[in-house]
Chain A
Amino acid sequence: MQKSDYKNMWVYIEHDGKTAAPVGLELCCELRKLCDTTGDKLYAVILGDLPHEECDKVRECGVDGIIYVSGTGYDYFNTDAYANAFTVLSKKYNPSAIFVGGTINGRDFAPRFAVQLDTGCTSDAMELEYDPETGDIQFIEPAVGGKIMAVITVPVLRPQVGTIRPGTFKYAPTGRKAEIDVICEEINFDPEAIRCKHIDFTPDDIDPELDIANADCIVCVGNGLKDSEHLERYRELARLLGGKIGCTRPLFDRGILPYKLQIGQSGVMVKTKLYISFGVSGAVNHTAGVDADLFIAVDKNPEAQIFNYCDYGIVGDMDQVCDEMIEQLKARQK
């Protein structure tokens, strides 16, 4: 088969049986635009039961069709049945591309069905473009720690598989199409053949300090931090500003702060009113995760890329600036 024989783009709608995860809707919205360029039809793929009102949310994102998959094996996420469903569907319908939200489970099964289909898989694209000459999607993503942007394509094989991190694209539904193609497929996967079985699930305790996605103010500490003993002043500054503390990847790697505080493409995407970074270099992977009304950067390196993203910057010693800010804020509060 020629690659031109593969048509239409699919989005996997991840859900927990009650609600659709935002990332699937975000992907539908973004791919609506891409499909308008390529002339492909956009299909959402839903495995297992999802309430009508949630399916309506998918329709509002401008999809041309929905593929509903029923059958055994989809009660709870498992790699075997989920990967199998996409392999079976893809062999039957030959889509040009399949997009899966880059959640933990999405990243678990998408690369696996890519191997079953013997095709190329990309992860973490931040932009999607179409090359009309080759008919390939250009998956554009930061690489080498955010120093460069790389264009990645699947030049020969089909479907083009991509996992995309939640929050990468905006949820901006364009409204439902007058006609939506509804396809119902029954694909049974023997529950006994599921090799990794769900036993139980315990939700994490909710710690408000670890919930920073929509905090009004974030004090973000980067790799410029000398050690964990120097961290307390940043916590104090965050408290004085009524905000929360966040960090960049190296601080998680160094074991200083937990993963849930890691801001950026591979961590939490934050939307905040005030964002102040201390000792953050400004790699694209991090800045892609920051949406701030007011962005302030403090770093000792005048060449740091972070100064390209800030509204106001201070070149200086992060600890000293933080201490002085604490003094000033305390003085104002008296």
Chain B
Amino acid sequence: MLKILVCVKQIPDVDLVKMDPETGNLVRAGVPTLTNPLDLNALEAAVRVKEQYGGEVTLITMGPPMAESTLRECLAVGGDDAILISGRPFGGADTLSTSYSIVKAADMKGKFDLIFCGKESLDGATGQMASQLAERFDASQISCCYSIERIADGRIRAVRALEDGKETVEATLPCLLTVEKDNFYGRLPNLKAYLDAKSAPITTYTENDIDGLDLNKIGVPGSGTIVPKIYPPELPEPGQIISTGSAKSDARRLVEILAEKGSI
């Protein structure tokens, strides 16, 4: 039976995050959260593997207690159990320390054969987590997986989507995959699964619950990068607004401009 891990993340709706013009801080208060969309494609891939080959899907995330809602959403889709890593010392982590924390916590549940991740998160968008997790899991990695051809004899054969074509690769287990969404659109949970997930047990680990966790390697102390400054993008001077309120006359003016400029 395959032991499958899916890494998910709860993110703020980035469209609604604003920057306080006075303090320069990001205002996240009251901003709704969602499950990182690409993680749902990873979950879909994992659930399909489980359906075809048999196995057990464990979900893992790191975040504040409210991240539990993301785990429940994923449990409803197809997870068997779930781990939440939560505690102040984990906060402010970059990918170097987050990948360390996740692997140490996952190790508490034994060794996984397959690890699935979304390609990147919409908020941090570094796209680095998967490779760093793979290194720490001492796993092979198949990034940008377009389709999974077969899993047998401790190996997985899959197709990667590269810039200009498709590459077939074969990797040994344990293997970490990041998933393209094209062939792994997420399914919706049925009502029973949704209700079951509401009361499903979730394992919560604080920094005190994880064996052998080096507190210097988590959160801010364990991070390789810092963000010393954020600022609003410098905007160029606005262009000339030619609208009059009538689409017809605006379009006419625009076509005239295109003609003047030699574009048509």
Chain A residues in the interface with B (C-beta under 8 A) = 79-80, 83, 103-105, 107-112, 114-116, 118-124, 142-157, 163, 195-204, 217, 241, 253, 255, 266, 273-274, 284, 294-297, 302, 305, 307-317, 320-321, 323-325, 327-329, 332
Contact = CB atoms under 8 A, between A and B. Distances in A.
B224 A104 contact: no
Interface string B103-146: 00000000000000000001111111101101110011111100
B135 A145 contact: no
Interface in B156-176: 157, 160-172, 175
Contacts of B250: 314, 316, 321, 324
Contact of A146 (B131, B143, B233, B255): B233
Contact of A147 (B17, B94, B96, B134): B17
Interface of B: 14-15, 17-19, 26, 37, 94-96, 99, 122-129, 131-132, 134-136, 139-144, 157, 160-172, 175, 185, 223-233, 235-243, 245, 247-248, 250-252, 254-255, 257-259, 261, 263-264
A295 B143 CA distance: 36
Contact of B131 (A79, A153, A157, A305): A79
Contacts of A203: 164-165
B236 to A, nearest CB: 5
B106 to A, nearest CB: 15
Given A144-B14, A145-B122, A314 B162 contact: no
Given A104-B144, A312-B254, A151 B165 contact: no
A304 to B, nearest CB: 10
B229 A151 contact: yes
Contacts of A147: 14, 17-19, 232-233
A328 B96 contact: no
B255 A196 contact: no
B140 A148 contact: no
Given A115-B99, A149-B231, A157 B238 contact: no
B37 to A, nearest CB: 7
A154 B224 contact: yes
21 contacts: A109-B131, A111-B126, A115-B135, A119-B224, A121-B224, A142-B233, A144-B19, A145-B15, A151-B231, A196-B170, A196-B175, A197-B169, A198-B168, A297-B239, A305-B235, A309-B235, A312-B242, A312-B254, A314-B250, A328-B255, A332-B259
Contacts of B236: 308-309
Contacts of B230: 143, 148-151
A195 B131 contact: no
Contact of B127 (A107, A217, A295, A332): A107
Nearest to A122: B225
Nearest to B12: A144
Q: Helix, strand, loop or mixed for chain A's interface?
A: mixed
A112 B135 contact: yes
A320 B247 contact: yes
Given A150-B229, A196-B142, A145 B263 contact: no
Contacts of B247: 316-317, 320-321, 323-324
Nearest to A158: B224
A163 B156 CA distance: 28
Contacts of A104: 143-144, 160-163
Contacts of A313: 238-243
B239 A325 contact: no
Contact of B225 (A152, A199, A273, A317): A152
A116 to B, nearest CB: 6
B134 A112 contact: yes
A274 B258 contact: yes
Given A148-B232, A296-B254, A316-B250, A155 B242 contact: no
Given A147-B18, A308-B237, 18 more contacts: A111-B132, A114-B96, A115-B136, A120-B224, A121-B126, A121-B128, A123-B126, A154-B224, A155-B228, A157-B224, A195-B171, A202-B168, A203-B164, A297-B239, A312-B239, A316-B245, A325-B255, A329-B255
B243 A295 contact: no
Contact of B223 (A120, A144, A145): A120
A148 B235 CA distance: 11
A111 B18 contact: no
Q: Which of B15, B128, B232, B237 has the most CB of A within 10 A?
A: B128
B263 to A, nearest CB: 5
Contacts of A311: 239-240
Contacts of B136: 115
Contact of A202 (B37, B165, B169): B165
Contact of B241 (A163, A307, A323, A328): A307
Contacts of A273: 263
Contacts of A152: 225-227
Nearest to B185: A255
